[in-house]
Amino acid sequence: MNAVTEAALTTAIHVNGQRLWDSLMEMAKIGGTDKGGVCRLALTDLDKAGRDLIVGWAKEAGCTVSIDQMGNVFMRRAGRNNDLAPVMTGSHADSQPTGGRFDGIYGVMGGLEVIRSLNDHGIETERPIETVIWTNEEGSRFAPAMVASGVFAGVFDLDYGLSRKDVDGKTIGDELKRIGYAGDLPCGGRQIHAAFELHIEQGPILEAEKKTIGVVTDAQGQRWYEVVLTGQEAHAGPTPMPRRRDALLGASRVVQLVNEIGLRHAPLACATVGMMQVYPNSRNVIPGRVFFTVDFRHPLDDVLAKMDAELREGIAKIAEAGKLDAQVEQIFYYAPVPFDSACVQSVRAAAERFGYPHRDIVSGAGHDACYLATVAPTSMVFVPCIDGISHNEIEDATIEWIEAGANVLLHAMLERANEPG
């Protein structure tokens, strides 16, 4: 194979968009739902089936495959000098319970398509190229989200990562062993020359502005909370209204508070209560305990801090008024992430090379790239999704967008993979 030169970086070097699309549709059959989406929760048998299929494809493409202690899967295409740090890409293969066909898996399959296309064009890169499947990015089965890339980046320690439990008390460590993806390589400490993540936008901006590529410059910071309000269960009939300690009433007022905080810091803030559990959940019993979650996002850390203070102060007042006990625990936090300027420029240059309409954009969602950015030069490539809908079975994209994003990824990675040591 021949090394590609800067002069040869033309649109003649491109991915096979139909093959990429077909691979995505094949993956969508694993955990496919009646509404056209997927349910492939982390470390379930369906997640194993998806991983097995991808690993098989990677081996067919000539990759060597290794797995670390958090179950992260690294699929490596050798370079001319394998002692040099690789250029990395990838995303996740797990989904939300009512997830779509592109969230996460597009980044994994886009990375595999880069490798397949390099093989098609007979191109040898100076550095190795790696495509990664990161474990439990979604956080829907095991909280918090992005826990395995967080361990890789040193944000969490290994014991913390392996000990995360689902609602049935099963841990990540036990489930990795059960499905055969408990690797023995250390999680983290790997040298990375540059990293890119390909993803659908999960929002409406690119489609609305008729832009094919989002050049991701930053990612919003996030704070996740778990809140428990405790009152007193009592009979719904004999208990007078003024004497009630209704935990659900208090929770309802906190939901309103969360929404007000988000609006107060508009237009960039997002504030969500996404999960709630009411005890004892009986129609004729006043709720005595409510567990719920709060999700705050903003691209400025000082604003996130203000939102945090407003939440805690507001919950304290609501609890006092309702004679409730309140527990507020922040379980997940990362600061806003500025992506590496050189990697951002590589994405921008690739989009310009193909003539794709593009714009700079800030990611409103968390991604494994956000943690990876703390240990390696990193950026992201966004493509539109129809109506901006994601985390939904009707999530959709066009083959033209899917191909365009992979072309940009290919060229951004080629540029960095041919840099000398």
Output the tens digit of pLDDT for each of the chain's 421 residues. 555 555 456 778 999 999 999 999 999 999 999 999 999 999 999 999 999 999 999 999 999 999 999 999 999 999 999 999 999 999 999 999 999 999 999 999 999 999 999 999 999 999 999 999 999 999 999 998 999 999 999 999 999 999 999 999 999 999 999 999 999 999 999 999 999 999 999 999 999 999 999 999 999 999 999 999 999 999 999 999 999 999 999 999 999 999 999 999 998 899 999 999 999 999 999 999 999 999 999 989 999 999 999 999 999 999 999 999 999 999 988 889 999 999 999 999 999 999 999 999 999 888 999 999 999 999 999 999 999 999 999 999 999 999 999 999 999 999 999 999 8
| Domain shared by 280 and 301, yes or no | yes
**Tokens in use for 80?**
């001319």
Q: How far apart are CA 69 and CA 80, in angstroms?
A: 28
| Domain shared by 206 and 243, yes or no | no
Q: How far apart are CA 276 and CA 256, in angstroms?
A: 14
| Domain shared by 97 and 113, yes or no | yes
| Domain shared by 229 and 216, yes or no | no
CATH number at residue 123: 3.40.630.10
Instruction: Supply the pLDDT for residue 7.
Output: 45
Residue in the structure block whose two tokens are 């950015």 = 373
| Domain shared by 297 and 326, yes or no | yes
| Domain limit, last residue, from 334, 359, 375 | 334
| Domain shared by 132 and 33, yes or no | yes
| Domain shared by 49 and 178, yes or no | yes
| Domain limit, last residue, from 266, 301, 334 | 334
| Domain shared by 157 and 268, yes or no | no
CATH number at residue 229: 3.30.70.360
| Domain shared by 107 and 130, yes or no | yes
| Domain shared by 132 and 194, yes or no | yes
Output the CA angle 51-214-375, nearest 5 degrees: 60
Residue range of the domain that includes 36: 2-220+336-417
**Tokens in use for 322?**
């309702």
| Domain shared by 154 and 204, yes or no | yes
- Number of independent structural domains in the chain: 2
Q: How far apart are CA 99 and CA 349, in angstroms?
A: 32
| Domain limit, last residue, from 334, 361, 385 | 334
pTM comes to 0.84
| Domain shared by 122 and 19, yes or no | yes
